[in-house]
A and B are shown apart, each in its own frame.
Chain A
């Protein structure tokens, strides 16, 4: 099913990454052959890690301030702030509410968090655009980011070498001349264990055993508060459900490869994304990637890829973009976005 939101334009995007780099070529305790295979398969050569004290909300705040400044937008005019993150500053309150104050937004601003990861940018855009349309708002900010490495054990080769930290901010406005945004959104809770953190929540709280390290298999050790990733399960999901959803979505939008300038996929891993591209028979469509420099940055991966790889085009011309986020949940979503030239498409380091 396609869900269409009319009268809403995306005006600008800023992404923010930490300066601190981790290299998979030099910083992994695995043998050379496996390292080489890992880099080739995942596409991740290096990524960024937030130093202690720098949170996802901090990076999103930084991105939002620069975005508002560069777009010439007053914080007073923001009526809605949504933060997509799985690594909020506190269990409560929601970080978006704290950011309402830190960004100088008015107290009339609606602010809340959405707990989604890899699909979160698409979901976030659908929520914000839908609320602009439904509530008659004029201007809103979508923030999306995670410090995923805080959930990964350095001795877990299935997760640690893949993830990176990043934040982002996207400015949306009501606009009568914007092309409709077309979404398709999906959830499958039956496979929630494919990517999960078992402890630390309501089901299994923090106890003295939460921090005990368990070796699951050679090279994969973690505790109950750290991420468990079933790589084969995620691959199977992406190469079947995600591909099928994209195929159906394109058909329902009456589009094919010739009508799409760029396919921007969540940056999960290169093998998965190449498989998706091949199965969709979109070999001629540009598929930008930032996996080599930033890894999998959760909900920030799509905006980060947009500004890192496509900023010149996004700033100067109209582009037909097919965006797809997929992962933890399992949750996935697609967006067909025909962009008008953006006011801002920038990447900053902190």
Chain B
């Protein structure tokens, strides 16, 4: 899965986000729709679909879609 596909998958999961508005450089906390519940939704998505469990403190260090992609990739959640 490349980063574009990964970005689209995140968009699908976040209900109020309009398709095509997120990019790899999107900063989660700067999204107008962002709230802490989105963090839990991302944790659930990474855990169940990418086999990557993210701790709360790790999530707070991940600011962009690209950083999340790289994190999951390092943990082996995305085949290289």
Residues of A within 8 A of B (CB): 33-34, 36-38, 40-41, 158, 230-233, 235-236, 239-240, 271-272, 274-275, 278-279
Of the candidates B15, B35, B38, B56, the one whose C-beta lies within 8 Å of that of A233 is B56
Of the candidates B16, B35, B38, B56, the one whose C-beta lies within 8 Å of that of A235 is B56
Report the minimum CB–CB distance from A200 to chain B (whole Å): 25
Inter-chain CA distance A230–B38, complex, in Å, is: 14
| Interface pair A271/B53, CB less than 8 Å apart | no
From known contacts A33-B16, A271-B44, infer whether A231 and B55 are also in contact, taking CB-CB under 8 Å.
Answer: no
| Interface pair B43/A232, CB less than 8 Å apart | yes
Q: Say which size band chain B's interface belongs to.
A: 20 to 34
Q: Name 18 extra pairs, CB < 8 A, besides A34-B37, A40-B15, A231-B56.
A: A34-B35, A36-B15, A37-B16, A37-B38, A158-B36, A231-B37, A231-B39, A232-B40, A232-B60, A235-B43, A235-B44, A235-B56, A236-B43, A239-B43, A239-B47, A275-B44, A278-B48, A279-B47
Residues of B within 8 A of A37 (CB): 15-16, 35, 37-38
From known contacts A37-B16, A236-B56, A279-B48, infer whether A271 and B33 are also in contact, taking CB-CB under 8 Å.
Answer: no
Interface status of B31 (Cβ within 8 A of chain A): no
Q: Which of B38-80 contact A (CB under 8 A)?
A: 38-41, 43-44, 47-48, 53-56, 59-60
| Interface pair B41/A41, CB less than 8 Å apart | yes
Main secondary structure on chain B at its contact with chain A? helix
| Interface pair B56/A239, CB less than 8 Å apart | no
Residues of A within 8 A of B40 (CB): 41, 231-232, 235, 271
Main secondary structure on chain A at its contact with chain B? helix
Report the minimum CB–CB distance from A314 to chain B (whole Å): 30
From known contacts A37-B35, A235-B40, A239-B43, infer whether A275 and B56 are also in contact, taking CB-CB under 8 Å.
Answer: no
* CB-CB nearest in chain A for B38: A37
Inter-chain CA distance A278–B43, complex, in Å, is: 13
Inter-chain CA distance A279–B51, complex, in Å, is: 9
Report the minimum CB–CB distance from A216 to chain B (whole Å): 11
Closest 6 CB pairs of A and B: A232-B56, A233-B56, A278-B48, A236-B55, A275-B44, A239-B47
| Interface pair B53/A232, CB less than 8 Å apart | no
Inter-chain CA distance A158–B56, complex, in Å, is: 15
Inter-chain CA distance A88–B33, complex, in Å, is: 40
Inter-chain CA distance A231–B59, complex, in Å, is: 12
From known contacts A37-B35, A231-B36, A239-B53, infer whether A271 and B41 are also in contact, taking CB-CB under 8 Å.
Answer: yes
Residues of A within 8 A of B37 (CB): 34, 37-38, 41, 231
Residues of A within 8 A of B16 (CB): 33, 37
Residues of B within 8 A of A236 (CB): 43, 53-56
